[in-house]
Amino acid sequence: MTDSTIAVLDIDGTLIDSNYQNALAWYRALRSVGETCPVWRLHRLIGMGGDQVVSAVGGEDLECRVGDRAREQQGKEVDALLDEMAPLPGARDLLTAIKERGHRLVLASSAKKRHVDVFLDKLDARGLADAWTTVDDVEASKPAPDLLQVALKKLGAPSDAASVMVGDSVWDIEAAKKAGMPAIALRSGGFGTDELRKAGAIAIYDTPGDVAKALDDTPLA
């Protein structure tokens, strides 16, 4: 098992269909503190750590004024939308296929613990994943590589361990590149094929199920 590859999978937007709900949650949260940002612009930031979204929207001044309040409210808005978030097609099939090939599996998320717990249950993944992360595990969020490095540490693996990331946003791919991991991308996050390829994705698929079917063509063969 020590020679196996470590699969580091993003959860939001990669395994769970949640990106557009997250964008709407940010829209409502910012409206609650007196700021309006078009939802399409917010969608472009989903996959970036929540600690960076407010400053990306309105700079450090907005972050200083409303950042903490907006993040707290965004969490509450997500709470209200959890029932509308469902596993993407073939999500659990991908987890099972990875484990059947003898690889180790970490679900890497910077979401709040209460949300990750719900997603793990929706995926029935607790018995499949070797470890998972939450926002409490990392200080610098994507596109910084810290979350992926923490994912490896969860397994006691060195930073140069054989690993591959599966994500759905350019922020995932950029984080993987900085961590020295090849990255497989899904279009389920709403980013274009050209964007994902330019960010450095080694392969691009529509759904987790598509990755599961093509696993033998990836570093997770």
Give me the tens of pLDDT residue by residue for the chain, a chain 221 residues long: 345 899 999 999 999 999 999 999 999 999 999 999 999 999 999 998 888 999 999 999 999 999 999 999 999 999 999 999 999 999 999 999 999 999 999 999 989 999 999 999 999 999 999 999 999 998 778 888 999 999 999 999 998 899 999 999 999 999 999 999 999 999 999 999 999 999 999 999 999 999 999 999 999 99
The CATH code for residues 6-17+86-217 is 3.40.50.1000
Give the model's pLDDT for residue 4. 84
pLDDT at 214: 96
Q: Does domain 19-84 have CATH number 2.60.120?
A: no
What does the domain layout of the chain look like in residue ranges? 6-17+86-217, 19-84
| Look-up of token digits 């361990």 | 161
Query: Residue 168: which residues within 8 A CB-CB, separation 6 or more?
Result: 10, 13, 14, 19, 47, 185, 186, 187, 188, 189, 191
Q: How far apart are the C-alpha atoms of 41 and 5, rounded to whole Å? A: 36
